[in-house]
Structure 1
Amino acid sequence: MLAFKLAPMALLAAFTAAHFTVPNDDQNMSGLVVNGIPYSTRVKYMRLANEALFSQSGPCPFAAYGTIIVNHTSDEIVCRGANFRTGDPTIHGEISAINACTAHFVSLNMTASEIFQAWGQLSIYTNAESCPMCASAIRWAGFKEYIYGTTIQHNYNVGWGVITMASYDVFQQSRQLPGFQTSMLGQILTNETDPLFSWQYNESYPCPNNCVRQYSETRGYTTCVDPNAK
C-alpha cells in the first residue's frame, strides 16, 4: 500500500509538465546589465535572497520562497522576508519583506508619503517568480526593480499548486498605474534557485543543504528534513 501511495509522487512532475504551458513565462534576462548594475551584483543578491530564506526558515523549508529588498545606491539589504505558514495566506516571502520594510520605515518616523516614495528607489529580489498577488503588490508599491529566479512554469512542472499567470502579464496590465514603472529581470541564478523547489513533490530528487529524506506521516511520503533540527 505504501508503494502504491508513493509512486504517483515520483511521477507527478512529468505528468503535470506535459499538460500546460504558462503563457509569457520565459523572461530569461540572465547576464544582462540593467540600470547600470552588473550581472555579478544580481547573482550576489539572489544568493542573499536564498540566505534570507535559510536564516528564517532553516536549510530545507518546504515553502522555499525567500525575498530581500535592496538599496542599490547604498549597496545594502534594507529588509528580508520568507514564506511563513502562519495561517495568513497572504504572507508570502514578498509580502513578508514588504511588511518588514514598512515597519522599519515607520520606526524611522517616515510619513506614509515618504514610505511610498521610498519604494521607487528600491529593488526586490525573490528566489522564485511572484504569484499574481505578490506581483500586484510589487507594482502597487512601485518598486524600481523586481528580480526573480525560478519561474512559475518550473514550479508548475515539478508539482506545485500555483496560479498560472506570469509576472509579465501582471506587469503588462499595470502600465496605467501612476508613478514608477518597475523593471523586471527574470530567471536569475536558476541553477541555484530551481533545486530549492524541486524536491518537495519528487522523492527521487536530492535534498538541499545536506538535509535528509524522512517519511512524513502528515504528507504520506518522504520529505527533506534538517538532520540537526531539535
Structure 2
Amino acid sequence: MSAFVVGLTGGVASGKSEAGRCFEALGIAVADADQAARDAVAIGSDGLADVVDMFGAGVLAADGSLDRPAMRRRVFADPDARKRLEGIIHPRVRELLHATCAKATTPYAIAAVPLLAEGGGRQAYPWLRRILVVDVPESVQLQRLLQRDGIDELLARRMIEVQAARRQRLAIADDVLVNDGSLDALGEKVAALDRLYRGLAQQDGAA
C-alpha cells in the first residue's frame, strides 16, 4: 500500500497530464480525478442516482448514462447548479482517489487532480503528503490552447479565467514543475521529482 501520496495539479494546458504519464513511465501509480469523476456517476451508481434525483431524468442520455454535454451546458450557465453537482461528485471523487492510491503497490502514488485548488486544496485532501503544481505562464497556456483545441482566443481566455488563478495554485504547492520547455526537459524534471518522492516515501515508511 502507498501511504505517501502526491497531489498533481496545474492549470488547463499546463502539461499536467503529460507529467502524469512521465511518472507512470517511471513505474509510479497515478490515480486520475477525471476517471474517478466518470466512475462516480457511472450507470447504476449511487452518484448517478443522486444526480437524477436532484436534476431530473432529463440529464440522462438514451442509454441511461449521464448526458455530459447537456449537463455541462446547464452548470456552465447556472453557478448554483454547478455547486449542487459538485456537492454530489467531488466527495465521491476524493473517496475513489484515496482508495485507489491506498491500494497502489508502488513506492508512492500520484493523485492527479486538475481542480485541486478549486476543490478545497489541502483541507479537502488532508491525506496528500505533498502537492506538485505544474506551472506555466498564462501566455504559454493561451498558445497551447489555441494550438491544441483549435479554438478562438476569446474562448481560450475564458477557459483560463474560470479556473483558479495561477497564484492560488502556487500558494498550495510544495513543489513547482515549470513546464515551458520540451517533452525531454519535462521528463528530466519529473525524474528528479521521482527521486525526491521515493526518498521521502522511504523516510516516511521508516518513521
Answer whether TM exceeds 0.5 for this pair: no
Structure number with the higher helix fraction is 2
Q: TM-score, normalized by length of structure 1?
A: 0.29
Q: TM-score, normalized by length of structure 2?
A: 0.31
Structure number with the higher strand fraction is 1
